[in-house]
Structure 1
């Protein structure tokens, strides 16, 4: 996907992700905060923030998979620390693997605004299994 050999996931276009940079055990996802992300109160909807955090944490786990392995999120625990609006600018979400076992992986993600302030944090457990299993 990074090199363009495979198409990006549809969620990238749906939410307006502008960059996804993977490396082993780590992913950075970027997205500018936009009004179409807003909830009725005039800030970025918590579901959008959660999706960004889930994407970064889970994709970090994805970078650790061997050929023939798949994964799925088991849980996601999110802490919202600051409101996010269009004034927050470019959001950068870094996902990292904390621990990777045979069957599960624990990952975290930190979402920062354009000024580098932490606005949300999440932890996620992913289940790892053989493809087709």
Structure 2
């Protein structure tokens, strides 16, 4: 791994894993590689203010805090921030179940915003797999406050799993 790849977030497409590299390992191995700093994290985390926190078989968490740049015209955190973080943790949880030689992508997801997250409040988003088969994966997620475990949002997703080789 080059020094550039040891950065937490990728700064260009050249720093991301290639398709061949990704297909040569399981989804769990890919997620563990990012957590360990051997592969860079997706740039969306840097843009949206969250980072990978834990990786287990069937469960992934991200930690972050929405900033002013993620607010809507009313000054509250935009629903897209909740959606992005939940899509990431739920999809990456499914990714931990994807075998070597396969990829996944989100087919649909739904979020339920329970209450607004105050700007700058650190939260943890946890995604847990409910089902992972040959062609689909289903996961649920929650966003909770790190300091007080307060529930801010829930979500669910269906992902397609595709064998590539």
TM-score (norm. length: structure 1): 0.92
Alpha-carbon RMSD: 1.3
Deviates more, 1:110-119 or 1:95-104: 110-119
* Distance in 1 between residues matched to 2:51 and 2:163, nearest whole Å: 31
- Which residue in 2 is equivalent to 1:100? 132
1:60 aligns with 2:97: no
* Distance in 2 between residues matched to 1:31 and 1:90, nearest whole Å: 5
1:79 aligns with 2:115: no
Structure 2 portions without partners, runs of 5+:
1-33
Contact 2:90 2:156 in 1 (8 A): yes
Counting matched residue pairs gives: 131
How many Å apart are 1:16 and its aligned residue?
1.4
1:25 aligns with 2:25: no
Q: Secondary structure at the match of 1:14?
A: helix
- Which residue in 2 is equivalent to 1:40? 73
Contact 1:42 1:85 in 2 (8 A): no
Instruction: Specify the structure having the higher radius of gyration (Cα).
Output: 2
Structure with the larger helix share: 2
Q: Secondary structure at the match of 1:129?
A: strand
1:90 aligns with 2:125: no
- Which residue in 1 is equivalent to 2:149? 116
* Distance in 2 between residues matched to 1:24 and 1:66, nearest whole Å: 12
Contact 2:48 2:66 in 1 (8 A): no
CA distances 1:35-92 after superposition (whole Å, capped 9, x unpaired): 12111111110001100000000000011111111001010011111011226x2111
Contact 1:18 1:32 in 2 (8 A): no
TM-score (norm. length: structure 2): 0.75
Taking CA–CA contacts closer than 8 Å with sequence separation of 6 or more, which of the two structures ends up with the larger relative contact order?
A: 1
